[in-house]
Amino acid sequence: MAVAFLFSTVAFAQKKPQASPADSTSGTVAGSMINISYHSPGIKGRTIGKEIAPYGQIWRTGANEATTFTTSKDIKIGGKTLPAGKYTLYTLPNETEWKIIFNSQTMDGSRPIWGIKMDGSTTDDPAKDVLTTVVKPMKSKATNERFKIEVTKMGFVLLWGDIAVPVMIK
């Protein structure tokens, strides 16, 4: 009996892989160190713009905790200045354009912002939006089952399915 209990305890103690594992990307763009931390959901047979990241609805740009974007220096995105600091990154996806939203609220008390409320809506508070810009999505070079973000020499790009959403930084 003690052996069965020991094995069941060990089995329950093992962690199940996260459905949307944590990931991050960083690099220097326009003289600023950029760091983006996010969770990477999979498509899993769903359609982007419908069942996941629905078109016309604010999305937390990943899964689990809201995605964070940190810049070490002031940068320009869409001709507007984003001051050095840490932000949550939300998006408003659509078929022909995506709105990129940098929001100043990164914490909920002593915890990171989760990104969505119990009803499924995002925690984005428009009053705390620091910068918004609109970019054009394009077809990606490769299909990505998992959502990912890459920092490039020109800015960063959101990659998921056959969609690439480039955001230029100056």
Q: In this predicted structure, what is the pLDDT of residue 125? A: 86
Q: In this predicted structure, what is the pLDDT of residue 14? A: 62
Please state, in angstroms and rounded to a whole number, the distance separating the CA atoms of residues 62 and 79: 25
56-110: pLDDT as tens digits: 999 999 998 899 999 999 999 999 999 999 999 999 999 999 999 999 999 888 8
> Residues 46-62: what's their mean pLDDT?
93
Contact between residue 91 and residue 82 where contact means Cβ atoms under 8 Å apart: no
Q: In this predicted structure, what is the pLDDT of residue 13? A: 54
Q: In this predicted structure, what is the pLDDT of residue 116? A: 74
pLDDT category at 2 given cuts 50, 70, 90 is low
Q: In this predicted structure, what is the pLDDT of residue 12? A: 53
Q: In this predicted structure, what is the pLDDT of residue 129? A: 96
Locus of tokens 């003289």: 31
Give the C-alpha distances (Å, rounded to integers) separating 40 from 62, 67, 101, 160: 6, 10, 19, 10
Contact between residue 140 and residue 164 where contact means Cβ atoms under 8 Å apart: yes
CA atoms 136, 144, 125, 82: torsion sign: negative
Q: In this predicted structure, what is the pLDDT of residue 1? A: 54
Kindly tell me if the per-residue pLDDT of 15 is higher than 80: no
- Between 117 and 28, whose confidence is greater? 28
Please state, in angstroms and rounded to a whole number, the distance separating the CA atoms of residues 33 and 23: 17
129-170: pLDDT as tens digits: 999 999 999 999 999 999 999 999 999 999 999 999 999 999
Please state, in angstroms and rounded to a whole number, the distance separating the CA atoms of residues 142 and 33: 27
